[in-house]
Amino acid sequence: MQRYLPFLDWGRSYDRETLGADLVAALIVTVMLIPQSFAYALLAGLPPVLGLYASMAPLVLYALFGTSRTLAVGPVAISSLMTAAACGALFAQGTPEYAGAAVALAALSGVMLLGMGALRLGVLANFLSHPVISGFITASALLIAAGQLRHLLGVQAGGSTAPELVPALLAALPGTSLTTLALGALTIAFLLWARRGLAPALRRLGLAERGATALARTGPVIAVALTTLATWALGLDVAVVGEVPRGLPALALPPLDPALLTQIAVPALLISVVGYVETVSIAQTLAARRRERIDPDQELIALGAANLGSAVSGAFPVSGGFARSVVNFDAGARTPAAGLFTAAGMAAATLLLTPLIRHLPQATLAATIIVAVLGLVDLRALTRVWAYSRADFAAQAGTILVTLLAGVEAGLITGVGLSVALQLWRSSRPHVAVVGQVPGCEHFRNVARHEVVTAPHVLSLRVDESLSFPNARFLEDYVYDAVAADPRIRHVVLVCPAVNAVDASALESLEAIIHRLSDAGVTLHLSEVKGPVMDGLRRAGLPEHLTGEVFLSQYDAFRTLAPEAAAEAMARPRLAEATQARRGTGRAAG
């Protein structure tokens, strides 16, 4: 029971001190969340009030079901962009159908996450490799920033990919509203300064360290207040948020049109997985700092409940937000109750503040978004990944390019496809070494790297990879080629210390190798097969097919098949290199 309702655990020991800490953290997060929730609603192409709605019920539900003590959920940049892309592909922004599609996305995403949680399928998130998710976030952040430029310039220029956005922006450039641009530029400058300079400035004014850090987070709220005031007082001619309905959301079942659900199934899945990966990664990072544990499968349930909460509030998909979770953690939140108090704070804001934001300029929100997402752009990751692995680089660069050129869904699918294909490609070309005996000891090493003893009629091959369908055929080809190339070979020994598994394809390949070698008058032996692998091979009856033997160690194999060579190798003095090899006895390295 406690596993599915974690609040039963932390709720029991809740005391006054914890309450105080949670309340302070909730206050700071609320102040930060108000402008963010407006901004991300705008980014999703929805009325600003929906950002507030997405910041109440989801927080309450996550507090009840989540296992992270400090994660803060709500509207976030990437999910909002993906929502805009999915809904924009079906309906025009501003129509009730568009808003309905966003609600349906949240609902379907919630159901999918709950389903995966019930089946404990958190492992599905593994399909998104680090380079792909990092490339996707970078490209999405660039798309988001480019998409917000129109609000900074005060022009109309739509589009969800670079080839749509760039020409539209260039064409609209002559119509730039200088007032809007000046307001937006000033806001960006202020926000950038506030990030670095506000806390030191506050400390110089005499504030205590912790208070200064906390107050420095209020930069966006100050920007919102000042620009709204300026627009109202000076009657500036800029696009504003306009009338915002007052009051709490009326909870309602989301519309469930089967045709619509089919159309949004893929985007909903992608939003779910991306949101989940981000959520778990943030939760893990924060939990580790206090040596707490999170349960990745329960996080699926919590995030699913949060999204259903957003759907019944009439809002859009939510997930864990990195910046606000860190703020929550730093501000001293101790339990998910801080999330409950934040939700209460947002409810109060909805009731009290909505009349005040009528004159809030859209340029201010665009500036907030741009400053927030530019921190997500990590182009240096490309050089880092390039230096480490060409295959990972290909997946990352492919994800970035396709996301920018063809949109978020195509980019993400490309990234997943590429990383899976490259993973199979990699395991399809395993490292195989011909090994020989190191003089003076029982160890065997790569003939290409070491001075070792071999016998012409015995070929010992060490395969440094599990045997499975991506490399089954490679092994067949490799063994035949080696045997066809040297007519002296009478015995082939597969040395298997690095073989962690053998699947049914590789099993059939082994049988094919045995029979085909036998046709060519060559015997196949195995050595150093791991216990669990040998159990499986035995169950499949491989030892009966085997023309040769299964040796416990490669030395046993060599001693049996080439006794003279083995004895001669043993009699030779041990080399310095061999001594070093001896030190790392367990290593199967070259």
The helix/strand/coil state of 446 is strand
Instruction: Estimate the crossing angle of helix 178-193 against helix 362-374, to 10 degrees.
Output: 40
Task: Tell me which residue of 298, 374, 301 sits closest to 114, measured CA to CA.
Answer: 301
Least distance in Å: CB of 453 to its own copies? 17
Q: Is 10 exposed, middle or buried (0-12, 13-18, 19+ CB in 10 A)?
A: middle
| Cα distance between residue 513 and residue 507, in whole Å | 10
Give the residues across from 524 on adjacent strands: 492
User: Which two structure tokens, joined as six digits, stand for 289?
Assistant: 């700092």
340, 160 contact by CB (below 8 A):
no
419 is a contact residue toward its own copies (CB under 8 A):
yes
Q: How many angstroms separate the CA atoms of 298 and 575, rounded?
A: 56
The answer to whether 142 and 374 are in contact (CB under 8 A) is no
Structure tokens, 109:
């995403």
- The residue range among 81-89, 118-126, 241-249, 264-272 that interacts with its own copies, by the rule CB under 8 A, is 118-126
Residue 193 neighbours by CB under 8 Å, 6+ apart: none
Spatial separation of the C-alpha atoms in residues 393 and 379, rounded to whole Å: 12
Q: Does 560 bind its own copies (CB under 8 A)?
A: no
Output the six-digit token pair for 567.
Answer: 């004895």
Residue 359 or 462: the one with the smaller Cβ distance to its own copies is 462
256 binds its own copies (CB under 8 A): no
Shorter beta-carbon distance to its own copies: residue 168 or 438: 438
Least CB distance to its own copies at residue 472 (A): 7
* Residue 448: other Cβ atoms inside 10 A: 10
Selected from 93, 208, 429, 579, the binder of its own copies by CB under 8 A is 429
Does residue 33 contact residue 342 with C-beta atoms inside 8 Å?
Answer: yes
Contact 288, 128 (CB under 8 A): no
Residue from 176, 179, 218, 284 that binds its own copies (CB under 8 A)? 284
The answer to the question of residue 564 lying near its own copies (CB under 8 A) is no
Tell me: does residue 585 bind its own copies (CB under 8 A). yes
From the CB of 132, what's the least distance to its own copies, in Å?
8
Residue in 3, 120, 246, 431 binding its own copies, rule: CB under 8 A: 431
Residue 313 or 554 having the CB closest to its own copies: 554
**310 three-state secondary structure:** helix
In the region spanning residues 124 to 143, those forming contacts with its own copies, defined by CB under 8 A, are 125-131
Q: Near its own copies by CB under 8 A, which window of 256-264, 367-375, 557-565, 582-590?
A: 582-590
Binds its own copies by CB under 8 A, chosen from 293, 488, 544, 573: 293
**Residue choice 49, 144, 337, 385 for contact with its own copies (CB under 8 A):** 385
Please report, as residue ranges, which positions from 389 to 418 form the binding site for its own copies (by CB under 8 A): 389, 391-392, 396
Size of the site for its own copies (CB under 8 A): 94
Q: Which one of the spans 86-94, 370-378, 515-523, 569-577 is the region binding its own copies (CB under 8 A)? A: 515-523
Residue 302 and residue 69: Cα distance in Å, rounded?
12
Report the site for its own copies in 336-365 (rule: CB under 8 A): none
d(CA 179, CA 165): 22
Q: Choose which of 203, 469, 560, 568 interacts with its own copies (CB under 8 A).
A: 469
With respect to its own copies, which residue has the nearer C-beta, 120 or 196? Answer: 120
Which residue, 196 or 390, has its beta carbon nearer to its own copies?
A: 390
Q: Which stretch binds its own copies (CB under 8 A): 47-55, 102-110, 217-225, 466-474?
A: 466-474
- Closest to its own copies by CB, 164 vs 508, is 508
Give the nearest distance from C-beta 565 to its own copies in angstroms: 18
